[in-house]
Amino acid sequence: MPIVYLSIGSNLGKRYENCQNGILQLLGITKSLLIMKSPFYETEPVGYEKQGWFLNAVIKIETPLGPYQLLRDLKSVESDLGRNFNQVRFGPRTLDLDILFYDNLIENTADLVIPHPRMHERRFVLKPLSDIAPNMVHPVLKKSVIQLLKGLEDSEQKIVLYK
């Protein structure tokens, strides 16, 4: 079965509970197996900065689903847990689930881009991903996760381990 890395984030309501509930619901409806989970990090917002800090983590799963069915199920879980898709792009949300890697698949369609198109620019993705897959190589950029993380400016995106 395919190995998939997913990012999880929330900055509305009970952030930790939103993320944990999202993981549990996703595993239940997709019949996927959780292999690893990174620590959670509090991270400053990117893109739309007039909002509260996010709580972010990354999980590694094994799934029987193809990438498009997985994407549909991710959107379903986000919706079930209160995400409003009509808000500001990169704005506040109860839950955000994104496919980072799906095996070594490279997909670029109007509906789905894998690997995630902005992950290499985002400390809030790369730091937790580096905790569970530091040597995973980005199939397009041909750099490891740890190399991508080290390539970010030190001043970019504050991130703090969540306790």
CA distance 44 to 29: 31
In three-state secondary structure terms, 85 is: coil
Active site residues: 83, 93, 96, 98
pLDDT of residue 157: 84
Write the CB contacts of 26 (distance below 8 Å, at least 6 apart in sequence): 6, 32, 73, 74, 77, 97
Residue with the bigger pLDDT between 45 and 154: it is: 45
The C-alpha angle 162, 39, 118, rounded to 5 degrees, equals 95
**Of 13-17, 35-39, 100-104, 154-158, where does mean pLDDT reach its minimum?**
154-158
The 10s digit of each residue's pLDDT in 79-126 is 888 777 666 666 688 899 999 999 999 999 999 999 999 999 999 999
Domains and CATH numbers, the chain: 3-161 (3.30.70.560)
Residues 53, 45: Cα–Cα separation, whole Å:
6
CA distance 143 to 135: 9
Q: What is the mean pLDDT of residues 62-88?
A: 88
Q: How confident is the model at residue 3 (pLDDT cuts 50, 70, 90)?
A: very high
* pTM assigned to the model: 0.94
Q: Which burial class, exposed, middle or buried, applies to 161 when counting CB atoms under 10 A from its CB (0-12, 13-18, 19+)?
A: exposed
pLDDT in tens, 142-161: 999 999 999 998 777 889 99
Query: Is the distance from CB of 106 to CB of 50 less than 8 angstroms?
Result: no
**pLDDT the model gives residue 78:** 92
- Percent above pLDDT 90 for the chain: 80
The residues with which 43 forms a beta bridge, in sequence order, are 54, 159
Q: What's the confidence (pLDDT) of residue 76? A: 93
Establish how many alpha carbons lie within 13 A of residue 112's alpha carbon, considering only the half-sphere containing its beta carbon. Answer: 18
Average per-residue pLDDT for the chain: 93
- The closest of 109, 111, 119, 156 to 139, measured between CA atoms, is 119
127 with 41: CB under 8 angstroms? yes
Q: Tell me the longest C-alpha to C-alpha distance in the chain.
A: 40
Handedness of CA 124, 130, 136, 137 (dihedral sign): positive
